[in-house]
Amino acid sequence: MADAALAPAAARRSPGRGLFLLVAWRNLWRNPRRTWLTAGGMAFSMWLIVLFMSIQAGMYNDLRDLSARMVSGHAQVQHPQYLDDARLRHVVQGVTELTRQLAELPAVVAATPRAETFALVSADQGDGEERSFGAIIVGVDPEGERDVSRLPGSLVDGTYLTGSDDAFVGARLARTLGISVGDELVVLGSTREGGVAALAARVGGIFQSGLADLDRMLLQVRLPVLQEAFELGDDAHRIVLFTDSIPAIDAMVEEVRGALASAGAADAARVRPWAELMPEVEESIQLDATGGVILLWTLVIVVAFAVVNALVMTVLERTREFGMLLAVGMRPGSIMAMLQVEALCMWALGTAIGLGLAVLVVSTVGTYGIGIPQEAGEMLGNTFLVPERFHMVLDAPALTLAPAVLGGLTSVAAFLVSLRLRRIRPVAALREVE
């Protein structure tokens, strides 16, 4: 004790930080098996969680992108009531000019108008018989559509709306109507004013999207053809907008909203982001993500038990050592701090391994993508969109959430375990037999 009194005050109070870290690190390797097992448990759980969340994030991205490209676009400009109440009379007026204006906005990569209504489609069977079927008829701009939609690419026969009176028909609808490329069909419906709307078209092409509903219900014609038959003038129901990527949607929506307001069209037209257009896809994603979060917490808690146990064992085994440290003048607070550092070193080791392995897997397998067999879509009855390859995406929450939660729990565990140190009496501890 006399020597200690001669030492500089700072050194007596606590060892330096570097020394702390060094001693803690060495302490870990006094029982390498335990350290590896504990860090391994952490690494295993973090690896799984990051992988799981990356798979989810990748799937969501693919799903969002695919449904945007097949059906809805990244956002749409619609009549304010059209989303809840899709009626022919709820139109956006003067779409030619409005589409051109919107397409000039910096965030908008592509914009194209669509008009649509429900109608009865009939086809002559050649023997005096006629078949008819209810369908959704969509008027589109073929050039604009090619930029934004995957539907033109789903062509299986004929061409995509090349002739002025061409129709682009879903494969199941074509089969039900008994028509093929070159056949005539007649569309009957009611105009905006309630009169009879009729148009005759020639089947120019047939598509198979893999979505049973689209293939059975959908038929496209050129926009002016539909506008004339249904007395829509220069009006349409949707202006479909695309931007660079899913995360950029919000910024684009803001920009478009501003543009609509300055054009004085804010009351007559409203911009709807993707999530509002396809709430069921977004909700499926939320539902699935909730499952991921539950998995994260249960896994982390199971591992936390193991961490606490490892720390308890460490502390109990070293009662004598701690007694000695106390006897030579180390403060209980310093010992607690050392245990914290030890626990966090273990956590850092587990995190490095877990995240390292996860990043390795995600960056090799995930970025290249895993091919999904065509049969998967058929097995699911073509009710959902199934991408050709599925990717994994490492995003910030996946990489930070699990380590942060586990780090926090580890730190709390180390603190609780080290509370026991306050009860250690140096003399009694030194006498204890190991």
Partner 1 sequence: MKLRLLVQLGWRNLWRHKRRNGILLGGITFAVASVVLANSFIRGMQVQMADNAVDLMNGHVKILAPGYLDDPGIAQSFEVAQDWQPDALDGITPDMVAGWASRVRVPAVIMSERETRGIQLVGIDPASENISFVGKLAVEGEGLADAADRRVIVGAGLAEQIETLVGRRIVLITQGADGRNREAGYRVAGIYRTDSSSLEKIFVFTGRDTVQNLLETNVVTELSVRVTEERFGPPLLQRLANVFSGLDVMTWQELDPTAAAMTAIIDVAILVYFFIMMGALSFGLVNSLVTAVMERTREMGMMRAIGMRPRSVLLQVVLESTLIMGAGIAGGVLLGVLVYLPIADGVDLAAFDEALSTFGLSNVLVPQLIAQDVILVVVLSLILGFVASASPAVRCMKMGPLEAMRR
Sites of contact with partner 1 (CB under 8 A): 33-34, 37-38, 40-41, 44-45, 48, 85-87, 118-120, 125, 129-135, 172, 175-176, 189-190, 194, 217, 279-280, 283-287, 290, 294-295, 298-299, 301-303, 305-310, 312-313, 316-317, 378-381, 383-384
Nearer to partner 1, 316 or 328 (CB): 316
C-beta closer to partner 1: residue 14 or 176: 176
What backbone torsions phi and psi does residue 344 show, to the nearest 5 degrees? -70, -30
**Helix, coil or strand: residue 394:** coil
Of the chain, the end-to-end C-alpha distance in Å amounts to: 26
Burial class of residue 151, CB neighbours in 10 A (0-12, 13-18, 19+)? buried
Tokens, residue 346: 């273990």
Are 159 and 169 in contact by the 8 Å Cβ rule? The answer is: no
CB of 261 to partner 1, least distance (A): 30
CB nearer to partner 1: give 206 or 330: 206
- From the list 70, 91, 69, the residue with the least C-alpha distance to 80 is 91
How far, in whole angstroms, is CA 34 from its chain's centroid? 38
Distance CA 133, CA 152 (A): 23
Report the nearest approach of partner 1 to the CB of residue 156 (Å): 16
Report, in Å, the least distance between residue 8 CB and partner 1: 40
Cβ proximity to partner 1, 240 vs 308, nearer residue: 308
Cβ neighbours of 11 (radius 10 Å):
11
In the complex, minimum distance from the CB of residue 258 to partner 1, in angstroms, rounded to a whole number: 30
CB of 353 to partner 1, least distance (A): 12
Q: Measured from the CB of residue 45, what is the shortest distance to partner 1 in angstroms?
A: 5
**CB 74 within 8 Å of CB 243:** yes
How does DSSP classify residue 183?
A: -
Whichever of 103 and 345 has its CB closer to partner 1, that residue is 345
Question: What b/e readout covers 158-172, taking b as 16+ CB neighbours within 10 angstroms?
Answer: bebbeeeebbbbbbb
Rounded to whole angstroms, how far apart are CA atoms 202 and 184? Answer: 5
Mapped to the 3 state alphabet, what secondary structure does 129-168 carry? CEEEEEEEEEEECHHHHHHHCCCHHHEEEECCCCCCCEEE
Give the nearer residue to partner 1 in terms of CB position, either 42 or 110.
Answer: 42
Amino acid at 3: D
Smaller CB separation from partner 1, 254 or 317:
317
- Please report how close the Cβ of residue 124 comes to partner 1 at its closest, in angstroms: 10
Which of residues 367 and 383 has its CB atom nearest to partner 1 in the complex?
383
Cβ proximity to partner 1: between 232 and 299 the closer is 299
Least distance in angstroms from the C-beta of 318 to partner 1: 13
Angle, CA of 158, 160 and 161, to the nearest 5°: 110
Report the alpha-carbon distance of residue 78 to residue 97 in Å, rounded.
15
Nearest Cα to Cα of residue 240 among 86, 80, 74: 74
CB of 227 to partner 1, least distance (A): 19
